[in-house]
A and B are shown apart, each in its own frame.
Chain A
Amino acid sequence: MSTAYEGAVADLIAELGQLPGVGPKGAQRIAFHVLASDTADVARLAEALIQVKARVRFCVVCGNVAEAEKCRICVDERRNDTQICVVEEPRDVVAIERTREFRGRYHVLGGAINPINGIGPDELRIRELMTRLADGTVTEVIIATDPNVEGEATASYLSRLLGSMGLAVTRLASGLPVGGDLEYADEITLGRAFEGRVTMRA
């Protein structure tokens, strides 16, 4: 598609086409938008792209994105040291933070176990998690991997691994989305919601 253009425009379209969710047409549209924008706006975008690569690193403790050696959550002293919430991606940390329900620490695995793609337990940050749990401060591990087959399998692997360590291992509940209709729920989700039903307090 970009062969019809020359030089810098073709290069830009080719680079934009590499981004997730951007197809050939979308890449063209963005390229011409950039071409029509103010030089200052474009410079700001370019600077932001360069800075994100230069400044952002991964937290040495939890694996979340950070601007320093440790991320904001790991240096925050007001947080609860006895709970660790295990998630797949840094994006999941943000999702859980938005709930304001959890005040403990996080641990980012960097994915889920997926043997077909060649990702086994050794490719994830599970060893780092075990090191963090070794000193005994943590009393509860909350497994918050995605509720799909890979995430559930990762959760069952972790629960087997952590079961003998004498700490509470919990898993996020699965069930009905708030605002949804019961009749449309699929039987697996509805079955899980039944299994995890809770007693109502009077």
Chain B
Amino acid sequence: MRTYRDEAVVLRTHDLGEADRILTMLTREHGLVRAVAKGVRRTSSKFGGRLEPFGVIDVQLYSGRNLDVVTQVDTLAPHGRSIMADYGLYTTATAMVETAARLTDVEHEPATQQYLLLAGALRALADRRHASTLVLDSYLLRALAVAGWAPTFASCARCGQDGPHRAFSAPMGGALCTDCRPPGAAAPAPETFLLLGALLAGDWSVADGSDERHRRESSGLVSVYLQWHMERQLRSLRHVVRA
């Protein structure tokens, strides 16, 4: 099979040579794919506009020896257009695609769930269905859960005792009861735990009704949790303008 076709979200692009670009895409069937798009930086390019980050595309690729080559593209959802017109959405979306690239770093290893999650999150962001900070935190928590680092917010992460609990520790995996609580664990508000649980479960009626204060606290916890389990800093997270 020399050519194959798939649905994909463009995660990021690198310039290559005179007018080419290397695309990093998360595909539905083939996981993370890096491919060359030839001549797309020329203003006369027929498909340059379709290969911008955040867009969902239907793409045909030719398997090259090293990198695949994009031969045809069609737009399925041009999320990039509404996202790039709003600086807050743009910074939020970059944090999401960076996370997706980090969590699926083996090329051609199918990651359909991660793909569906990312495409859904970008659509929610582009349609402004919910506050962008909630969409981001919900995406991050669920992407981590799919990758195998699901946090717990209702029961104790160590002994499994039912909550609600008052302590949170990223290294331990979420909420902790008074017996399992390590020294120096964070003590977030009960409403923050409720919000985190809702974001992980996708319970938007609870999340949309939450307070600014608890949103900020849960964002902080999500970011600590994410960076602890990915074992590195997410570069774009510090540039996110929350709204």
Residues of A near any B CB (own CB < 8 A): 20-21, 113-118, 120, 148-149, 152-153, 156-157, 160, 177, 179-180, 184, 186-189, 191
Contact = CB atoms under 8 A, between A and B. Distances in A.
Contacts of A157: 87
B1 interface: no
A186 B50 contact: yes
Given A116-B12, A116-B94, A118-B235, A152 B84 contact: yes
B85 A152 contact: yes
Interface of B: 12-13, 17-18, 43-44, 46-50, 52-54, 75, 78, 80-81, 83-87, 90-91, 94-95, 97-98, 235-236, 238-240
Contacts of A153: 84, 87, 90-91
Contact of A191 (B43, B81, B91, B238): B81
Given A148-B52, A149-B90, A188-B49, 9 more contacts: A114-B94, A115-B235, A117-B235, A149-B83, A152-B84, A156-B87, A180-B44, A186-B75, A191-B81
Contacts of B238: 115, 120
Given A21-B17, A115-B94, A187 B239 contact: no
A116 B18 CA distance: 22
Contacts of A148: 13, 52
The 4 A-B pairs of least Cβ separation, nearest first, read A115-B236, A152-B84, A153-B90, A115-B239
Nearest to A115: B236
A186 B18 contact: no
A156 B44 contact: no
A188 B50 contact: yes
A116 B236 contact: yes
A156 B86 contact: yes
A45 B50 CA distance: 41
Given A156-B87, A157-B87, A116 B235 contact: yes
Contact of A186 (B49, B98, B235): B49
Contacts of A21: 17-18
Contact of A149 (B50, B53, B239, B240): B53
